[in-house]
Amino acid sequence: MGDLDGRVAIVTGAGGGLGRAYALELARRGAKVVVNDLGGSRDGTGASDAADKVVEEIRAAGGEAIAWVEPGLVHGYLRARHGVTRARQSFARIMGAIAALAEGRLPDAPSP
C-alpha cells in the first residue's frame, strides 16, 4: 500500500530523464500512471517506443500504467483533456489527479 493508492498521475515527458524518474516513483508509491512521451528528439522530430518501455518497467515492478503516445494533438487544453479521458477509459475511475511536473513539487522525488 502506497500513499498514492487509488490516484492517477499523468506524466508528460516520461520516456526519459526526470519525467521517467517521476513516473517510476509515482508508480512505486501506488499511483496508476499515464506515461506520455512521443520519444522524439529535442527538436521534435522522430519518434520511439520510450513510453512503452517505461510502462513495461512499471508493470514489471507490479504497478499499473498505460502509454499515451498520440502525435498531432493540439497542445494545451485539448491535449490535457484527451489525456484525462484516456486515463478514465483505462483505469475506469480517477479518484484524484497529481501534477507530476519536473518542478520539484513532488515530495521525496528521486534524484535524476
- Residue 61 sits in which domain range? 8-99
Does 60 reside within a domain?
Answer: yes
Instruction: Assess if residue 112 is contained within a domain.
Output: no
* CA 79/CA 74 separation, integer angstroms: 6
Nine-digit cell string for 32: 496508476
Q: How far is CA 17 from CA 24, 51, 70, in A?
A: 11, 12, 20
Percent over 90 (pLDDT), the chain: 26
Mean pLDDT value of segment 29-35:
92
* Rounded distance between C-alpha atoms, residue 56 and residue 24, angstroms: 11
pLDDT digits (tens, 9 = 90+) for 77-100: 566 677 777 777 776 544 333 444
Quote the number of domains for the chain.
1
Helix, strand or coil, per DSSP, at residue 60: helix
Q: For 55-100, where are the E strands, in sequence order?
A: 65-68, 97-99
pLDDT for the residue 29: 95
Task: Please write the tens of the pLDDT for every residue from 3-16.
Answer: 888 888 888 888 88
pLDDT top residue among 41 and 104: 41
On the question of pLDDT at 108 being above 60, the answer is: no
Task: Specify the pTM.
Answer: 0.66
Task: Indicate which CATH number applies to the domain containing 58.
Answer: 3.40.50.720
